[in-house]
Amino acid sequence: MVAVHGLQGDSHQTWTHENGTMWLESILTNRIPYARIMTFGYNSTVAFSSSAAKLEDKSIELINRLSMKRSSVENSSTRPIVFVCHSLGGILVKKALILAHERSSDSHYRSILDNTKAIAFLGVPHRGADAAWWFNFAASSLKGATVGVSTHTALIKGLQKASPTLATISKQFAERAKSLKIYTFYETRKLSGIVVCHVCSFFLFVLIYHRLLMNNQHF
């Protein structure tokens, strides 16, 4: 399982409760002891406030790092992969799987593509093709975030400028996702600052545990 944080998130903080418990490490491992649990950390400011090329670079980095990790474990090349994505981390994962499909002649890309079985989207923006929609999304997501004014402005402008690209990614992914199990969760209450995913994610994996792991699919 690979957890991918979103806008202004962190590979550990995003999945850590305010009491200091990182549920991926402290709780999930007890429920699914044979799962291999990893997080992917990246600079979301770079990925989403500059150019489409930067997003593609981070997506390729995700594939390469995951491929290296899997190759270091015996008999891991056919173990199924589940991605858990928060916010814009879902866009990054979508792009990664699109690239894996386009470059499937490469065995590393093909392995990731063939073994990805499920994705859980937590508050991921799946729609919105115009700049105004992305402006509202970015402004809402960054409200109360502890970033400088220039960074805040750059992220909003970057998302506005990239909105057609991000919308295209979602459209392309729809064709690639037909064989995947998709779980989508979103917040029903207004929140400010960085959203920390813990309780909903835990119950999500109880669900995935019963849906996937009961079929003897070891991660």
Q: What is the pLDDT of residues 118-138, one digit of tens each?
A: 999 988 887 766 667 777 776
Position 10 scores a pLDDT of 86
- Over 80: is that where the pLDDT of 152 sits? no
Q: Where are the beta strands (DSSP E) in 61-215?
A: 81-86, 116-122, 181-185
Domain 2-126+168-215: CATH architecture, name and number where available: 3-Layer(aba) Sandwich (3.40)
Instruction: Provide mean pLDDT across the span 181-199.
Output: 60
Closest to 10 (Cα-Cα) out of 146, 182, 133: 146
Q: Two tokens at 50?
A: 């500059």
Q: How confident is the model at residue 190 (pLDDT cuts 50, 70, 90)?
A: low
Per domain, the residue ranges of the chain are 2-126+168-215
Q: How confident is the model at residue 150 (pLDDT cuts 50, 70, 90)?
A: low
Report d(CA 187, CA 195) in Å as an integer.
10
Q: How confident is the model at residue 83 (pLDDT cuts 50, 70, 90)?
A: very high
- Over 70: is that where the pLDDT of 209 sits? no
- Over 70: is that where the pLDDT of 160 sits? yes
The packing angle between helices 52-71 and 107-115, to 10°, is: 80
Q: Which residues pair with 3 in a beta bridge?
A: 39, 84
Q: How confident is the model at residue 145 (pLDDT cuts 50, 70, 90)?
A: low
Position 205 scores a pLDDT of 54
Q: Which carries the bigger pLDDT value, residue 180 or residue 45?
A: 180
Q: What is the pLDDT of residues 23-80, one digit of tens each?
A: 888 877 777 777 888 999 998 877 776 667 788 999 999 999 999 988 877 666 778 9
Position 49 scores a pLDDT of 67
